[in-house]
Amino acid sequence: MLLLWRWQNSGVSWGYQLKDENRNNFSVVQLVDNLSVGGAEQLAVRIANGRAKAGKPSYLYVLRESGPLADRIDSEVTLRVLNVHRHSITNPFKFVASLIDGHKKFSKQIKADNVTVVQSHLTHANFWNLLLSITGVTVGFPTIHNNQEFQYGSSGIKRVLTKFAYKLMLSKCGSVIACSEEVKTSLAKELNLGKVQERQLVAVTNGVDIPQKISSEHIEQTRSEYKLGKETPVILGAGRLTEQKNFKVLVDVAKIVKAQLSDVKFIIGGEGELRTELETQIAELGLQETVLLPGNIMNLPEMMQSADLFVLPSKYEGLPLVLLEAMASGLPAVCSRIKGTVDVIEDGKNGVLTDLDDSQGMSNAIIDLLVDKDQRSEMSREAVETISSEFSFDNLLNQLDNIFKRGQK
Which tens digit of pLDDT belongs to each residue from 296-335?
999 999 999 999 999 999 999 999 999 999 999 999 999 9
With 0-12 CB in 10 A as exposed, 13-18 as middle and 19+ as buried, what is 100? exposed
Q: Are 125 and 158 contained in the same domain?
A: yes
Cα–Cα–Cα angle for 394, 396, 397, nearest 5°? 65
Q: From CA 139, how far away is CA 107, in angstroms rounded?
A: 12
Same domain, 377 and 230: yes
Same-domain pairing of 194 and 230: no
Say yes or no: 385 and 317 in one domain. Answer: yes
Q: How far is CA 407 from CA 19, 134, 220, 270, 341, in A?
A: 13, 14, 48, 36, 30
Task: Give a yes or no: residue 20 inside a domain.
Answer: no
Residues 333 and 399 reside in one and the same domain: no
Residue 9 placed within a domain: no
Q: With H, G, I as helix, E, B as strand and everything else as coil, classify residue 254.
A: helix
Residue 264 lies in a domain: yes
State mean pLDDT over 351-373.
Answer: 98
Q: How far apart are CA 312 and CA 249, in angstroms?
A: 10
CATH of the domain at 238: 3.40.50.2000
Same domain, 165 and 250: no
pLDDT greater than 80 at residue 177: yes
pLDDT at 155: 62
DSSP for 81-124 reads E-------TTSHHHHHHHHHHHHHHHHHHHHHHT--EEEEESHH
* 54 in the same domain as 116: yes
> Does a structural domain hold residue 221?
yes
Range of 94's domain?
Answer: 25-207+393-407
18 lies in a domain?
no
Based on the fold, state whether residues 357 and 237 are members of the same structural domain: yes
**How many domains does the chain fold into?**
2
Calculate mean pLDDT across residues 129-154: 88
Domain assignment present for 272? yes
Same domain? 98 vs 236 = no
10 within domain boundaries: no
Stated pTM of the model = 0.89
373 and 318 both lie in a single domain: yes
Q: What pLDDT does residue 16 have?
A: 41
User: Based on the domain organization, do 109 and 150 belong to the same domain?
Assistant: yes
Q: Which among 205, 179, 130 has a CA at the least distance from the CA of 395?
A: 205
Please report whether residue 325 resides in a domain. Answer: yes
> Do 82 and 198 sit in the same domain of this protein?
yes
Residue 377 scores a pLDDT above 60 = yes
